[in-house]
Chains A and B, each alone.
Chain A
Amino acid sequence: MDAPHETALELLARKLNLHHRLSPEDRQAILDLPHKIRRLEAQSYILREGDRPERCAVLLQGYSFRHKVTGDGSRQILAINVPGEALDFQNLFLEEADHNIQMLVRGVVAEIPREAIEQLVLEHSEVGRAILITTLVEASIFREWVVNIGQRGSRSRIAHLLCEFAYRLTAQQLAADGIFELPMTQEQLADATGLTAVHVNRVLQALQREGLIERDRRMIRFPSWERLSEVADFNPRYLHSLDLETLPHIYQSSDA
């Protein structure tokens, strides 16, 4: 096996360990999972509603999103996934996908056969527990999105989405110096927050004027994390990270 393959699932092990501590043996069992590397173009589908998935994709590079389309054709984005996240643990036990998963940008996934994960869960009960907990954390994020769209004003909604995205990337050790790549178009931000693209544009401009965000093409920075998270009504508890206490350090220099 060549070198990239040996370490391909490192990010997945890191993600699971964020929510449930893994022993070295359990970690190795994850790295040893059989998998196939696939490169995907932006917008390509990983899973379609109604599919019966036989493999579980783990995102290694790039970003993907979950979405559903309503009867009248409008789209609701349900989640953004970042590298290291397994995209269809959801379908480990469910027969039929109830939503679509699509790449936001060009990226790479590792596809693991469903039976290999089922076997791993049987032989390593703590890995099984980590997968269940990680799935529950994802459910917690869906709950927070119901709250975000159901109750928050447009400004808070968008600020909340930005805070969550930055926090998750940081927790996965994928953001350097507090600068983030924002892979979403304004239309996609609108579909994730239940707003129109015009409205999103206006809110982003206002946040920029107030010095809460700084944008340079696709890169985004948050000059005052504290003020932004206050506008967002953001409390990271729902992300259930075991590394909670270590995270704020990256933001301190800019808040000082």
Chain B
Amino acid sequence: MTESLILGPLFRRWSRRLALSNDDKTAVAGLGWSRKQFQRDAYLAREGEPTSVCTLLLDGLAYRQKILSDGSRQIISFHIAGEFLDLQNCLLEVADHNVQALTRCNIAVVPKELLLEVMNDRPNVRRAIWLDALIDASVFREWVVNVGRRDAKQRIAHLLCELALRLKAAGLGDGPMFDFPLTQEHIADATGLTAVHTNRTLQALRKAGLISLNSSKLSILDWDALAEAGDFSERYLHHSV
């Protein structure tokens, strides 16, 4: 497979926001990517370690997390095919969080200096990477709101809305049904709730006829009601969906 095909999910995502020329794509594809596979739960980056490469997710799901001194874990974001997993870590000198595979993941890595060089030479690529970093930051802000000021039902409904919209935009499901490999523990750790509370809240969303969730399939049965239950407005995703 040629590099351009491998990077297809990245180029499709970037092309939704800006006009990427064939030269831009060729320059990025020619950076000397190497491919790797990680099993479910494997660590792709660890907090405190120096960074030298940037990692692009080619398929599967991954997430960023931090572990506190008492051992509790907060998930900070989920990532889907075509997204950089550690843009944040790789441009800073030391990783400030962990990145873990949620399913089996195929990734492509590139030395960060090469990516920075192509950013200097190509305004479109620079803009695309900037946008990635800024939209990531916007999603983190929304998550601060989610855990800080929303109740359990709103938090979980908000998370489901965000993931469904992003999966749909990436062409990884066109609704109402999505592959959804998150466990209740992942949902709990992403929303700052206990597993019991998460379970109860998901039951309530099911009973209210908003979603169905079983054997790794999520169906959103009533989008408008789920968005309302989640106090969800997509502005913070900045048309990336």
Contact = CB atoms under 8 A, between A and B. Distances in A.
Say if A and B assemble together: yes
Interface of A: 49-50, 66, 68, 70-72, 74-76, 78, 90, 92-96, 98-99, 122, 125, 128-129, 132-133, 135-140, 142-147, 149-152, 191, 193-194, 233, 237-238, 240
Interface stretch (B87-95, B160-168, B175-183): B87-95
Given A66-B141, A98-B141, A143 B91 contact: no
Interface size, B (range): 35 or more
A76 B131 contact: no
B131 A98 contact: no
B68 A152 contact: yes
A149 B131 CA distance: 26
Contacts of B150: 70
Nearest to A66: B141
Contact of A151 (B133, B137, B144, B192): B192
B91 to A, nearest CB: 6
B238 interface: yes
Interface of B: 47-48, 64, 66, 68-70, 72-74, 76, 87-88, 91-94, 96-97, 116, 120, 123, 126-127, 130-131, 133-138, 140-145, 147-150, 191-192, 231, 233, 235-236, 238-239
A96 B131 CA distance: 13
Residue among A93, A95, A122 facing the most chain B CB atoms (10 A cut-off): A93
A132 B115 CA distance: 14
Contacts of A122: 123
Contacts of A76: 144-145, 148-149
Given A98-B235, A136-B92, A233-B68, A146 B74 contact: yes
B238 A95 contact: yes
A136 B88 CA distance: 6
A200 to B, nearest CB: 13
A193 B148 CA distance: 7
B231 A72 contact: yes
Contacts of B68: 147, 151-152, 233
B145 A68 contact: yes
